[in-house]
Amino acid sequence: MRKRIRSLPLTDSIEEPLINLTPLIDVVFVVLITFMLIAPVLDIDSVDLAPSSGAQKKELEAGAISIAVHADNTIWFKGSPITLVQLEKILRQEQRQRPNAIPQLVHDRKASFGTYQSLKNMLESIGFEQMDVILKPG
């Protein structure tokens, strides 16, 4: 007579995980490879800001050419409203007297872009090479 030995199957003793992680790992690898392929192509822009040291503060010129555009698209020069034609005549004289002067434009955020563009085009036609755009926070 032979004895029969019953053995437990090996698969019963090892528990199978309840969640299959293979698809999750596949997705993670695909995302990782995608980022590795795209990262060198990305063009990141940066803006270099001037160092903030009290000793190197640039003082504004006392008689700076300051032009303001209000929310209703009116152009102001030296505290009074002015038309583009009048402003062009005045700025031509300023350009002759101070060729290195840089006009400063204070443009209201509610004013239209067309006013800014017409002022910019006028300053270019007069012969100014630079223009400072002054933005107010808020």
* Residue 18 covered by a domain: no
Global pTM reads 0.54
pLDDT score of 33 more than 90? yes
Q: What does the pLDDT read at residue 51?
A: 62
- Residue 101 lies in domain: 63-134
The share of the chain scoring above pLDDT 70, in percent, equals 71
* Residue 57 covered by a domain: no
* Residue 52 covered by a domain: no
* Residue 112 covered by a domain: yes
Instruction: Reduce the DSSP state of residue 93 to 3 states and report it.
Output: helix
Neighbouring CB atoms inside 10 A of 57's CB total: 9
Q: What does the pLDDT read at residue 84?
A: 92
Residue type at 62?
A
* Residue 79 covered by a domain: yes
Q: What does the pLDDT read at residue 136?
A: 66
Q: What does the pLDDT read at residue 101?
A: 86
Among 7-21, 36-50, 72-86, the range of highest mean pLDDT: 72-86
Q: What CATH number did the domain enclosing 119 receive? A: 3.30.420.270
* Residue 50 covered by a domain: no
At 134, is the pLDDT very low, low, confident or very high (cuts 50, 70, 90)?
Answer: confident
Q: What does the pLDDT read at residue 58?
A: 47
pLDDT score of 138 more than 90? no
pLDDT one-digit tens code per residue, 48-88: 555 655 444 444 455 678 999 998 999 999 889 999 999 99
Angle at which helix 113-126 crosses helix 84-97, to 10 degrees, equals 40
* Residue 55 covered by a domain: no
What average pLDDT does range 25-31 have in this prediction?
A: 96
What average pLDDT does range 117-137 have in this prediction?
A: 85
Count of the separate structural domains present in the chain: 1
Name the burial class of residue 76, with classes exposed (0-12), middle (13-18) and buried (19+) by CB atoms within 10 angstroms of its CB: middle
* Residue 29 covered by a domain: no
